[in-house]
Amino acid sequence: MASRSDSVPRAAHATRRWPVVLVGLALVLGSVACTADDPPVKDDAAPVVQLGAPGEAGKTLSPDEAEAIEEPTWTDADVEFVQGMIPHHQQALEMTALVGDRADDPDLTAMAERIEVSQLAEIDQLEGWLAARGESVSGMHAGHGDGEHGMPGMLSPQEMARLERASGPRFDQLFLLGMIRHHEGAVLMVESLLTEGEGGQESEVFQLAGHIGSDQQVEIAAMKRKLAEPAG
């Protein structure tokens, strides 16, 4: 996998910083009349609370402590996630490219188009993230199927060949089953990034991963509903 940019200290890998949340002052409920004669009220700065680890209480920071907090930087885990998600998305696009000539259900065409639009846009974002940090876009190659060298949800060459040979209702079923599994694998990759190790702390990769996860969950739900519809 591509190494971190030399401009980023390796020490950044060792420290997992929990996100900092700005907690606003509570609004006082009630009808308090304000007149022109009322003296101006000085607004206090909202306190800054640093969230603790799961199960631990947060800590209210002093202004000096808040000022000293650095924005979390990206880690090797973030780079691995982004480099892996690109070929993962690319296989989904290979699957949607088969729909037009093989699908029986016209609803699958609309589903495939939605998947293509969202995943092409996400690939652009993923590649842009890597380029902005001097990381290799091709640092990780696509594996097929779950396992040591594959990624969760990826279809094996045999499964892709079976999908290519199918048509009509059989294709529809194989496509939905395969794409549901494929999307669930991507969601698993997102969850692993955000809950394990040192990844997911940089704000941009956190937002990008969260968007991918939520988008794919919406599509999973739609495909499961379609798969559950009675035949004919």
Question: Tens digits of per-residue pLDDT, 70-121?
Answer: 677 899 999 999 999 999 999 999 999 999 999 999 999 999 999 999 999 9
If asked whether residues 85 and 196 sit together in one domain, one would say yes
What integer pLDDT is reported at residue 68 of this predicted model? 53
Range 170-191 average pLDDT: 97
What integer pLDDT is reported at residue 23 of this predicted model? 35
Q: Which residue has the higher pLDDT, 115 or 61?
A: 115
Q: CATH no. for residue 127?
A: 1.20.1260.10
What integer pLDDT is reported at residue 164 of this predicted model? 97
Does 211 fall in a domain?
yes
Does 195 fall in a domain?
yes
If asked whether residues 54 and 149 sit together in one domain, one would say no
Q: Which domain holds residue 131?
A: 76-228
Tokens of residue 169, six digits: 């209702």
If asked whether residues 59 and 81 sit together in one domain, one would say no
Task: Count structural domains, the chain.
Answer: 2
Q: What are phi and psi of 110, to 5 degrees?
A: -65, -40
Q: Which of 144, 118, 226, 124 is nearest to 180 (CA)?
A: 226
User: How sure is the predictor about 186, in pLDDT bands with cuts at 50, 70 and 90?
Assistant: very high
- When mean pLDDT is compared across 70-74, 162-166, 168-172, the lowest value belongs to 70-74
The yes-or-no verdict on residue 62 having pLDDT over 90 is no
Does 2 fall in a domain?
no
Residues 6+ apart with CB under 8 A from 37: none
Q: What is the mean pLDDT of the chain?
A: 79
Q: Which of 3, 63, 15, 6 is nearest to 202 (CA)?
A: 15
If asked whether residues 139 and 164 sit together in one domain, one would say yes
Does 82 fall in a domain?
yes
If asked whether residues 23 and 120 sit together in one domain, one would say no
Q: How far apart are CA 17 and CA 8, in angstroms?
A: 16
If asked whether residues 52 and 130 sit together in one domain, one would say no
Residues 6+ apart with CB under 8 A from 107: 226
The yes-or-no verdict on residue 2 having pLDDT over 60 is no
Rounded to a whole number of angstroms, the CA Rg of the chain reads 23
Does 10 fall in a domain?
no
The yes-or-no verdict on residue 172 having pLDDT over 80 is yes
User: How sure is the predictor about 198, in pLDDT bands with cuts at 50, 70 and 90?
Assistant: confident
Give me the residue label for tokens 């306190």. 47
Range 205-209 average pLDDT: 96
- When mean pLDDT is compared across 9-13, 40-44, 170-174, 202-206, the lowest value belongs to 9-13
What integer pLDDT is reported at residue 28 of this predicted model? 30
What integer pLDDT is reported at residue 144 of this predicted model? 52
Range 36-42 average pLDDT: 50
If asked whether residues 161 and 63 sit together in one domain, one would say no
